[in-house]
Amino acid sequence: MIKRKVAALLILLFALLSQNSCKVSYTFTGASIPPEAKTFSVELFQNLASIVNPTLANYITEELKNRFLTQTSLSPVQDFGDFAFSGQIVTYNIAPTAIQGNEIAAQNRLTISVKVKFVNAIDPKQSFDKTFTQYAVFDSNQNFAQVEQSLVQEIVEKLVDDIFNAAASNW
């Protein structure tokens, strides 16, 4: 009888303490966003790479917006969201990766690097300014112009994953 009372008291105490503790919202995507955060903003990424893909800046910007729209409850705003992103494309580079015996590349690698500034207005300690890099490999026999769009899509998906996880998942 005493054990049941003690157990009931402990459960009640735990319930009361958990009501006053710090809260973090979790989603099925792995995002942990403070409940005070209501909005996000993404400025158009500038393309500062030496080789410029004319659609890349808009594409990365829109994909990052879409990720936050579909995988969080945050609402988009034009400027100064609780989660605010800005950035630059700093690398768009094609380089050989697998050199054959006859010094001809068997494969090439498209690399894209994006420098991202993330400002978390709710918890400034979570803010960051860092560069994310991803790449995709393609056969050197392929015409780059024909595979460029699919490579860019693959790389941007990885970049957006990395940025989202760094900002919203506390990993």
Q: What pLDDT, in 10s, does the model give residues 9-18?
A: 445 444 444 4
Asked if 60 contacts 45 with a C-beta cutoff of 8 angstroms, the reply is yes
pLDDT tens figures, 24-41: 433 444 567 888 999 999
8-22, 113-127, 152-166: which has the minimum mean pLDDT?
8-22
20-34, 38-52, 96-110: which has the minimum mean pLDDT?
20-34
On the question of pLDDT at 137 being above 80, the answer is: yes
pTM score: 0.78
On the question of pLDDT at 101 being above 80, the answer is: no
The confidence score (pLDDT) of residue 141 equals 85
- DSSP strand E in 7-74: where? 25-26, 32-33, 39-42, 46-47
Question: How far is the C-alpha of 42 from the C-alpha of 87, rounded, in Å?
Answer: 9
Q: Which residue has the higher pLDDT, 9 or 91?
A: 91
On the question of pLDDT at 97 being above 90, the answer is: no
The confidence score (pLDDT) of residue 16 equals 43
Question: How far is the C-alpha of 130 from the C-alpha of 117, rounded, in Å?
Answer: 7
Question: How far is the C-alpha of 165 from the C-alpha of 10, rounded, in Å?
Answer: 36
**Single-letter code of the amino acid located at 156:** V
